[in-house]
Amino acid sequence: MARPRQFDEQDVVTRATDLFWRRGYHATSVRDLGAELDLTPSSLYRTFTDKHTLFLRALDHYRATDSAEAERRLDAAGRPVRQVLRDWMLWLVSCPSESEPGRGCFVVNTATELGTTDTQVRRRTEAAFEVTRQAMRSLLRQGRRNGELPGDLDIDAAVELLFTTLLGLRVRERAGHDAARLAATIDAVIRSLGPVPAEPS
Q: Could you report the per-residue pLDDT of 23-80, keeping only the tens digit for each?
A: 999 999 999 999 998 888 888 888 899 999 999 999 999 998 887 777 778 876 788 9
> pLDDT band at 116, cuts 50/70/90?
confident
Tens-place pLDDT, residues 32-43: 999 998 888 888
* Signed CA dihedral, 130, 119, 93, 16: sign only: positive
The residue ranking higher by pLDDT, 45 or 155, is 155
The residue ranking higher by pLDDT, 160 or 93, is 160
Question: Are residues 26 and 113 in contact, defined by beta-carbon separation less than 8 angstroms?
Answer: yes
> pLDDT band at 109, cuts 50/70/90?
very high
- Per-residue model confidence (pLDDT) at position 3: 45
* Amino acid letter, 6: Q
- Per-residue model confidence (pLDDT) at position 2: 42
Mean pLDDT of 136-152: 93
pLDDT > 60? residue 114: yes
Please state which of the four CATH numbers 1.10.1200.10, 1.20.1250.20, 1.10.10.60, 1.10.10.10 is assigned to the domain occupying 1-58.
1.10.10.60
Mean pLDDT of 139-165: 95
- In the chain, DSSP finds a helix count (H) and a strand count (E) of 9, 0
Classify domain 74-191 at the CATH topology level.
Answer: Tetracycline Repressor; domain 2 (1.10.357)
What would the DSSP string read from start to end of 100-122?
-TT---HHHHHHHHHTTT-HHHH
Question: Are residues 50 and 58 in contact, defined by beta-carbon separation less than 8 angstroms?
Answer: no
Question: Rounded to whole angstroms, how far apart are CA atoms 85 and 81?
Answer: 6
Residues in the chain, total: 201
Element containing residue 71 per DSSP (H, E): helix 51-73
Question: Are residues 46 and 5 in contact, defined by beta-carbon separation less than 8 angstroms?
Answer: no
Question: Are residues 139 and 74 in contact, defined by beta-carbon separation less than 8 angstroms?
Answer: yes
Domain positions in the chain: 1-58, 74-191
> pLDDT band at 115, cuts 50/70/90?
confident
The residue ranking higher by pLDDT, 71 or 170, is 170
> pLDDT band at 101, cuts 50/70/90?
low
- Per-residue model confidence (pLDDT) at position 199: 65
**Average pLDDT of every residue of the chain:** 87
